């Protein structure tokens, strides 16, 4: 059966929740300084899609029959300087990797950026995640010379 790619209707955004949970579990080892909750703890704490990001949530999915094999989650928002677009998450089930599904889905995101007149589009990934870096470069994203500094609240309970 052929894989189909489509935009997920807004009322069905939470259909990617199981894949989003898989992504969260798979990414944990890359952030060893952060808490490492169990899959069950992650499932309980994972918010609904519409509550997770502010802005317009657009999700493209690749379907293998009725099964969602992969998704690309795009958030569009205007911080007051023009419409921006973020490829918030891309995930392909391990059983469907190597079939260029991520490429097809990211192409949908870039097409959406063009259609909507996005003035800045971006994606975040780990430099060590070379398959993702290659995917985004092929889609037209390029590295920037910006220094990104992060701040996290102290969750240890000590002052």
Using one digit for the tens of pLDDT, what is the confidence trace for 20-65? Answer: 888 888 888 877 787 788 878 877 777 655 555 568 989 999 999 9
pLDDT tens digits along 82-137: 999 999 999 999 999 999 999 999 999 999 999 999 999 999 998 899 999 999 99
pLDDT tens digits along 10-22: 888 788 888 988 8
- pLDDT averaged over every residue in the chain: 87
Confidence tier at 158 by pLDDT (50, 70, 90): low
Task: Give the CA dihedral 146, 130, 35, 151, nearest 10 degrees.
Answer: 0
Residue 57, CB-side half-sphere exposure with 13 Å CA sphere: 21
pLDDT tens digits along 132-156: 999 999 999 999 888 778 887 877 7
CA dist., res. 148 & res. 150, Å (int) = 7
Backbone angles phi, psi at 119, to 5 degrees: -90, -20
Among residues 127, 110, 126, 108, the alpha carbon closest in space to that of 118 is found at: 110
All structural domains of the chain: 3-138 (3.40.630.30)
The pLDDT of residue 11 is: 81
């Amino acid at each position: 059966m052929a894989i189909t790619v489509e935009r997920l209707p807004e009322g069905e955004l939470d259909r990617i929740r199981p894949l989003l949970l898989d992504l969260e579990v798979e990414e944990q080892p890359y952030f060893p300084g952060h808490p490492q909750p169990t899959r069950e703890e992650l499932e309980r704490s994972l918010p609904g899609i519409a509550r997770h990001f502010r802005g317009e949530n657009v999700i493209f999915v690749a379907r293998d029959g009725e099964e969602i094999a992969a998704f690309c989650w795009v958030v569009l928002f205007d911080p007051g300087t023009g419409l921006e677009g973020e490829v918030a998450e891309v995930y392909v089930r391990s059983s469907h990797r190597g079939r260029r599904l991520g490429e097809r889905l990211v192409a949908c995101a870039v097409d959406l950026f063009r259609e909507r007149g996005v003035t800045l589009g971006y994606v975040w990934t780990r430099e060590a995640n070379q398959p993702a870096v290659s995917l985004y470069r092929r889609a037209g994203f390029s590295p920037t010379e910006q220094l990104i500094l992060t701040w996290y609240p102290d969750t240890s309970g000590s002052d």
